Amino acid sequence: MYIGAVHTGAALAGGADAQGAAVDANGQLVDRGLQTRFEHITAQLRCLVCQNESIADSNVELAGDLRRQVREMLLAGKSDDAIFDFMTDRYGEFVRFSPPLEPKTLLIWGAPFLMLVLGGVIIFRIVRVRSRMPLDDEPAPGP
């Protein structure tokens, strides 16, 4: 375990020079393709502090750390899916604005449709019951 930590630290120290060369003065990636991927990924990750903002839009320190981590993973050659998997494993499904359609997220994706169908059934039953009721304007039968 300690060897891995030392090895990771050495890799980060060596990667800082490579990252410095790959990032311009404004903090954007020099490679346009990587910058586009970076913007796409950071727009889909939720700020864990703000919760209604992406890490691309948030000025919180944690969001900055997450952006830096995404940038480092992109420079290391990680795929978008690998980055999303890493963030999801570390912070849970909440970190993604659009969680993938999986058995455990099926209720999240299906709930709006389920509520729409349930609302339709309720409205149908109310209309059907009320259509069988007498109107108030009709005179009562009898003398």
pTM over 0.75: no
- In angstroms, the Cα distances linking 135 to 87, 122, 130, 132, 138 are 61, 21, 9, 9, 6
| Percentage of the chain lying above the pLDDT 70 cut | 78
Model confidence at 109: pLDDT above 90: no
Model confidence at 110: pLDDT above 60: yes
Whole-number pLDDT of residue 17: 45
| Whether the Cβ atoms of residue 108 and residue 99 lie closer than 8 Å to each other | yes
Model confidence at 9: pLDDT above 50: no
Q: Considering just the CA atoms, what is the radius of gyration of the chain in Å?
A: 27
Query: How far is residue 43's CA from residue 109's CA, in Å, rounded to a whole number?
Result: 20
- Strand-pairing partners, residue 54, are 46
- Considering the domain 2-95 in this protein, what is its CATH number? 1.10.8.640
- The pLDDT-based confidence of 114 (bands split at 50, 70, 90) is very high
Whole-number pLDDT of residue 29: 77
